[in-house]
Homo-oligomer: A and B are copies of this chain.
Amino acid sequence: MRESTGGTRERIKAVALELFTEQGYEKTSLREIAERLDVTKAALYYHFKSKDEIVTSFVEDRLELIDELIAWAEAQPPTLETRRALIARYADAMFTSEQPSVMRFFEQNQTVLKSLSAGQQMRGRLMKLAEALFRGDDSPSAQLRATLSLFAVHTSWFAVRTPHISDEERRRIALEVADELLAPIGQPAGPAR
């Protein structure tokens, strides 16, 4: 417990993220977060002026990161190579980060997040990311494929149930499937039978 000096804000973020992800935003009370940290509710209000400001705090880092990816992609030609590189970079961000669970939190709290500005921003950003993935081919199937390739990355943590599988292996599988989904995008015609 070395970090008790000054690190309180970070500890609040970490605990809140964990509880929000597990139980949901609405079901997690500030009392619960405070108890877990062995402080009082009032202490939380010193660090964050409201409950949803806690959410904002850990969503913002991700927004920046996604913005960078989008900007990078838009500077590239809309080729398959670009799409693949983009999803790979995104997967790196998801798997590498110290807190991969920000996206899990987001997935698990979609509806609630609609009414939070942080949530709306994140929603918008993921839309733009999907757009960057199908850029140059806005056919319905390309749109669906692009979105699903993001889901491949997001859901591999639970969709792959094999026990004891490593994160690196999950990432590899996710990208294998994502690549296949991206392949037909931008082709003259989809792989209709």
Contact = CB atoms under 8 A, between A and B. Distances in A.
Query: Quick one: copies of this chain in the complex?
Result: 2
Interface bracket on A: 35 or more
Contacts of A176: 141, 190, 192
Given A162-B138, A162-B140, A173-B140, A23 B114 contact: yes
A183 to B, nearest CB: 9
A152 B148 contact: yes
Contacts of A148: 148, 151-152, 155, 159, 177, 181
Q: Which 9 A-B pairs have the closest CB atoms?
A: A26-B26, A24-B111, A147-B159, A108-B111, A140-B160, A140-B173, A144-B159, A24-B112, A140-B162
Given A25-B111, A26-B26, 18 more contacts: A23-B111, A23-B115, A24-B26, A24-B114, A26-B27, A27-B115, A107-B110, A138-B162, A141-B173, A143-B160, A144-B155, A144-B173, A144-B177, A148-B151, A148-B155, A148-B177, A180-B191, A181-B181
